[in-house]
């Protein structure tokens, strides 16, 4: 049975994380990826990734959905994803999910994940947090979502930003139920 994993690239910094996640998903058998790039995410990836990386990111996805298309299949509970990841997750996207503002596909698909009790992982990229950010994270957690900021595992002694991004992507995909035991470095 094919697992369907959604990846939303929102406007927060960290486009490399989404690229690494899609690279890892492309190597998994019986897994299809569904990519949404928000308007802010498009601008951020243009600032952060080289043109060839931008092209690779969009070509790695098995399916690409327009964030304005609320009629996309993944917007319905009758055709949900197996897991949805917002990587990186902006505070705007976090807040919209927390307060049910489902006027964009990525938020509607996230809302479907919560109502269907399926994994929703938000790699929130902000620091420091103020009380409103923390309240939104608490609200999403109370609804069943997982807040997983992409925090480097310094004990693994990463040698590059690529190492950090790949490890974070693997950890987050593991939370989504993907088997990445060969790619994921663990504390020994």
Sequential pLDDT tens for the chain (188 residues): 899 999 999 999 999 999 999 999 999 999 999 999 999 999 999 999 999 999 999 999 999 999 999 999 999 999 889 999 999 999 999 999 999 999 999 999 999 999 999 999 999 999 999 999 999 999 999 999 999 999 999 999 999 999 999 999 999 999 999 988 777 777 77
pLDDT at 17: 98
The number of distinct structural domains making up the chain is 1
Stated pTM of the model? 0.95
Q: Which positions ≥6 away from 47 have C-beta within 8 Å?
A: none
d(CA 93, CA 153): 25
H-type alpha helices, 49-119: 51-60, 91-98, 105-115
CB neighbourhood size of 47 (10 A): 8
Asked if 98 and 140 count as a contact pair (C-beta separation under 8 A), the reply is yes
d(CA 69, CA 66): 5
Inside any domain, residue 183: no
Query: Considering only CA atoms, which of 82, 109, 112, 88 is closest in space to residue 179?
Result: 82
Inside any domain, residue 40: yes
Inside any domain, residue 27: yes
pLDDT at 23: 97
CATH number at residue 91: 3.40.50.1950
Inside any domain, residue 155: yes
Reported as a single tens digit per residue, the pLDDT across 98-142 is 999 999 999 999 999 999 999 999 999 999 999 999 999 999 999
Tell me which residue range forms the domain holding 146. 3-175
pLDDT at 1: 80
Inside any domain, residue 184: no
């Amino acid at each position: 049975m094919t697992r369907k994993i959604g990846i939303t690239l929102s406007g927060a910094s960290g486009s490399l994380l989404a690229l690494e996640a899609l690279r890892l998903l492309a190597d998994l058998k019986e897994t299809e990826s569904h990519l949404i790039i928000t308007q802010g995410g498009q601008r951020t990836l243009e600032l952060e990734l080289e043109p060839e990386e931008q092209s690779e990111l969009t070509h790695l996805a098995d399916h690409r959905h327009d964030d304005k298309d609320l009629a996309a299949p993944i917007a319905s509970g009758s055709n949900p994803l197996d897991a949805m990841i917002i990587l990186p997750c902006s505070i705007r996207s976090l807040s919209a999910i927390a307060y049910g503002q489902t006027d964009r596909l990525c938020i509607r698909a996230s809302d479907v994940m919560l109502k269907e009790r399926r994994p929703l992982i938000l790699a929130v990229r902000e620091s420091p947090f103020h009380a409103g950010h923390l309240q939104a994270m608490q609200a999403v957690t109370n609804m069943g979502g997982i807040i997983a900021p992409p925090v480097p595992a310094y004990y693994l002694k990463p040698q590059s930003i690529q190492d950090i991004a790949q490890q974070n992507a693997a950890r987050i995909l593991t939370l989504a139920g993907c088997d990445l035991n060969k790619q994921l470095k663990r504390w020994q």
